[in-house]
Amino acid sequence: MRIATWNVNSVTVRLERLLAWLESSGTDVLCLQELKCDLDAFPAEALRAAGYEAAVHADGRWNGVAVLSRVGLDDVTHGLPGCPEYDGVAERRAVAATCGGVRVWSVYVPNGREVGHPHYTYKLEWLGALRTSVAADAAGARPFAVLGDFNVAPEDTDVWDITVFEGATHVTEAERAALAALRATGLTDVVPRPLKYDRPFTYWDYRQLGFPKNRGMRIDLVYGNQAFASSVKDAYVDREERKGKGASDHAPVVIDLDV
C-alpha cells in the first residue's frame, strides 16, 4: 500500500496537479492539508471519478484537511477530540479514517506565528490534544500513523540553516518537546529519503528562490506506531512535485507499506 501526505496549499488551485499526481504516483491513501475551501467547494466529484473516496474536514478560507482513499474509507472522525479553540473557533485541522486496515490522521498543526504569540500557545496546546487523542491507537496493534504538516522541524538539521531560525517558531525546545511527548505514546518518526541533496526537506518558501537554492525545512512528518513503522518498505520526498509553475510550497511525502 502506498500512503502519502501533502500540504497542497489550496485544493482548488492544485486540483489538476493533484489528479495528475495521484495517477502518476499510484498513491492509495493521501492525507491532504491546507485545502483552503469549504465543504461545498471540495472537488469530491473529480476525485470520485479518479477512484478516490474522501473524508473532508474543511473551514473555508484557511486550514482544511482530508483523507483520500481508493482502498476503503471507514470510521471517519472529523476534528481532533478536545482540541483547543483559537479566537473562539475550533479550526478544522484534523480528520481520521481507516483505509485498508490502516488507521490514519491527517493533521495541519497551527503555525504559531511568533514565540509568545497567542497562536504559539495554541500550537502547543493543540499538539497536547493530538497526543491525548492518538495515545490509544499509537499503543495498539493495528497499523496507525499521524501524517501531515506538523509545522515543527524535529532537529536542527531539519532546516536549511539553523542560524536563520534564531528565536523563531518551528525549532523551539517547547515545540520539539511536544513532538517528543507525541512520540512517547509509541510513535516513530518515519524519516523519508531525499531524492536529491542530503536532507529530506518537505517545504521550501516561495520567495527568494527558496527551492532552487534548497533552502528547505522538514516539517511534513509521518509518525507511525510499531505495526506501521515495521511495515515500511520505502519512504521518500517527491521533490519533483515542488517544481514548475503552479506547485504547492510543500512536496508530498510518500510511504510504501507492506500491508
Q: Residue numbers of the site for DNA (CB under 7 A)?
A: 7, 9-10, 12-13, 34, 36-38, 60-62, 110-111, 113, 119, 149, 151, 169-170, 203, 205-208, 217, 219, 246, 249-250
Count CB atoms within 10 A of the CB of residue 44.
16
Q: Which is nearer to DNA, 119 or 183 (CB)?
A: 119
Q: Which is nearer to DNA, 74 or 156 (CB)?
A: 156
Q: Which is nearer to DNA, 5 or 9 (CB)?
A: 9
Q: Could you tell me the three cell numbers for 128?
A: 497536547
What's the min distance (Å) between Cβ of 211 and DNA?
A: 10
| C-alpha 215: how far from chain center | 19
**In angstroms, rounded to a whole number, what is the distance separating the alpha carbons of residues 75 and 135?**
17
In sequence order, the 6+-apart residues with CB closer than 8 A to the CB of 39 are 56, 58
89 strand-pairing partners: 86
What's the min distance (Å) between Cβ of 85 and DNA?
A: 14
Count CB atoms within 10 A of the CB of residue 181.
13
**CA proximity to 25, closest of 54, 53, 5, 48:** 5
What's the min distance (Å) between Cβ of 248 and DNA?
A: 8
Q: Which is nearer to DNA, 73 or 222 (CB)?
A: 222
Q: Which is nearer to DNA, 37 or 55 (CB)?
A: 37
DSSP annotation of 193 reads B
Q: Which is nearer to DNA, 29 or 35 (CB)?
A: 35
Residue 49: what residue type?
A
DSSP-assigned states of every residue in 75-96: EEEES-TTPPPBTTB----EEE
What's the min distance (Å) between Cβ of 210 and DNA?
A: 8
What's the min distance (Å) between Cβ of 238 and DNA?
A: 17
**In angstroms, rounded to a whole number, what is the distance separating the alpha carbons of residues 209 and 206?**
7
Q: Which is nearer to DNA, 20 or 139 (CB)?
A: 20
What's the min distance (Å) between Cβ of 59 and DNA?
A: 9
What's the min distance (Å) between Cβ of 74 and DNA?
A: 29
CB-neighbour burial class of residue 60 (10 A; exposed 0-12, middle 13-18, buried 19+): middle
